[in-house]
Structures are given as C-alpha cells and as structure tokens.
C-alpha cells in the first residue's frame, strides 16, 4: 500500500488541480458583486440520509483557498446523518467561502455516497470474518478521495495503483503463457529490481487454484466469478497456503453468502463506480 506521505501528496494534488480547473483566472461572479473585505458564514446542510465523509478533506480545501477561514465541525467523518443535520460551519472572507464551495460539495457528496454504500456492505458482513475491499475502478484523478471514503465507511483499501502491489489477472496470465510462467517471471522480476511487493494471482477455476498452490510466494488468491459451491471448494483447497479474495459481480444480495464460504476478503468495484451522490448544500447564514 502507499505511504501516508504519498497519500497526502495525492490529496494535495487533487485540491490544487480542482481549484485550478474551477477558478481559472478568478471567480468573477464573486469578484463582481462581493467586496474583498466582506466576511461571511455558511453551514454544510444535509438533505439526505447516509454516512458523512469528506469533512477532513473540506477543512484542507478551505485552508488551501484561504487560511483565514475557520471551520467548526459538528459531525465528524464516518457518522450517520439525516435530513436537516448541520455538519459544520465555515466562517471567513465571503469570496473565499464561495471559491471553495463547489469543490467541497462535489467531493463530500461523492465521498459520502461511497462511505454510505461501504457501510451497507460492512453491515451485511457482520458476524463473519470477511472484510470488504475496494478496487481500482475509481474516477480518474480523484482515486485518493474515493479510497479514503471507503475507509471512512468501514471498508479496507485494495492496492492503490499499479505500482504498490503485483496482481496477476487473467490477461497477464494469458499473455505470459500460463500461471506458473507468470508467477515465476514475476518473482524473478521482483528480485532483479529489488522490489518487495505482495503478489495476488487470479484464478478462473479450481484447476488454476491447484496450479497456483504448487507455486510459492503468493500472498492472496483472487477467486474470480466462482459460484458458492466452487468458492467453498477453493477455500478448502487453499487452506493456510495464503489469503483468499472473492470478486466478480458480488452485490448486496449475494455478499453474505460468499462471506460464509470462508473467504478472507470480498472486493467490489460497485463501492466506487455505482453510487448516487448524497445531497448536501452549503448555505450562507445571515
């Protein structure tokens, strides 16, 4: 996984790029009608139900735009919210509040949606030993925000990107000429380049599971698109050899049944690619 420093750098890049994209050479709507010296106060109002996420990010955005702004947080990240709740107050130069408004709302609405969906999956797994993972099926440019939201919702992060973990999927295996060849060449590559990366290998059937087990050094086997019966067989075959992960079209209706097959993890792209934004608004206070 990426380090805290790398993650913080990603967040800083997201903020800088988003403000560049949105503000350009100036927020002319605010500049045209609001005096530079004007002070204001606004509240982050919830108009939906779910899990709030992005409060800490919002504070970073306000600080980036204008460190004279002050934020009073009433509801922290990861908390359940209902219609009418006030998450925080922000106070400072009116122009600065308006400059930061859209980025804060866009990010928090999406992060809250992801945290809400993740919490639903976490609740469905209660009482099992299975953890929910996200994937790389994220929105280009804001992956760090979406994976942060998964953590806020109680889930776990899979690899962040292509560089922090080896994941040998079906195409890698087929292009390489087979499972054993792919694992062997991967271990050679890691040794030659002095890299310490965990190896995950995808299996499409029980025979591939057996072949993976014949090789050493695999951290986790991805049991992909298996039915319940074959997933149970796969878990029995793997035993203590390595960790197990189920994936492939698993949803709210099927996730618990797959967890009861005994897998350690279930990964779901739906956590980040199939959510509806939580309705939030930033309202000025007279």
Query: Catalytic one among 102, 204, 210, 233?
Result: 102
Cα of 276 vs its chain's centroid, Å: 15
How many residues are listed for the chain in this entry? Answer: 286
Active site residue 169: yes
Which residue in the list 202, 208, 245, 264 is annotated as catalytic? 202
* Burial zone of 151 (CB within 10 Å; 0-12 exposed, 13-18 middle, 19+ buried): middle
Query: 191 catalytic, yes or no?
Result: no
Q: Which residue is catalytic, options 169, 204, 210, 233? A: 169
Helices and strands counted in the chain (H then E): 11, 12
Beta bridge partners of 181: none
Q: Which of 136, 137, 187, 198 is catalytic?
A: 137
Q: Is 176 helix (H, G, I), strand (E, B) or coil?
A: helix
Active site residue 224: yes
> 229 an active-site residue?
no
Measured between alpha carbons, how far is residue 3 from residues 6, 10, 150, 159, 166 in Å?
5, 11, 17, 12, 17
Give the residue from 74, 71, 42, 47 showing the smallest Cα distance to 57: 71
Catalytic annotation on 202? yes
- 128 neighbors 260 (Cβ within 8 angstroms): yes
Active site residues: 102, 137, 169, 202, 224
């Amino acid at each position: 996984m990426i380090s805290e420093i790398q993650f913080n750098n990603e967040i800083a890049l997201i903020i800088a790029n988003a403000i560049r994209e949105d503000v350009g050479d100036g927020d002319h709507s605010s500049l045209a009608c609001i005096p530079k010296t004007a002070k204001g106060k606004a509240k982050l109002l919830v108009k939906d139900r779910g899990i709030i996420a992005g409060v800490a990010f919002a504070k970073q955005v306000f600080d980036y735009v204008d460190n004279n702004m002050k934020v009073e947080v009433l509801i922290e990240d990861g908390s359940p919210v209902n219609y009418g709740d006030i998450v925080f107050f922000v106070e400072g130069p009116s122009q600065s509040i308006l400059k930061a408004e859209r980025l804060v709302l866009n990010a928090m609405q999406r992060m809250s949606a992801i945290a809400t969906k993740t919490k639903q999956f976490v609740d469905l797994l209660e009482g099992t030993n299975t953890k929910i993972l996200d994937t790389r099926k994220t929105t280009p440019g804001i992956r760090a925000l979406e994976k942060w939201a998964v953590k806020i919702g109680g889930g776990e992060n899979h690899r962040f990107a292509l560089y922090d973990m080896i994941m040998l999927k079906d195409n890698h295996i087929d292009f390489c000429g087979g499972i054993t060849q792919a694992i062997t060449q991967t271990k050679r590559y890691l040794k030659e380049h002095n890299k310490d990366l965990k190896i995950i290998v995808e299996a499409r059937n029980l025979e591939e599971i057996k072949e993976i087990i014949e090789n050493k050094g695999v951290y986790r086997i991805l049991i992909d698109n298996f039915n319940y019966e074959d997933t149970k067989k796969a878990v029995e075959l793997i035993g203590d050899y390595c960790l197990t992960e189920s994936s492939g079209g698993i949803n709210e209706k099927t996730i618990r049944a797959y967890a009861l097959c005994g897998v350690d993890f279930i990964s779901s792209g739906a956590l980040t690619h199939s959510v509806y934004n939580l309705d939030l608004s930033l309202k000025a206070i007279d």
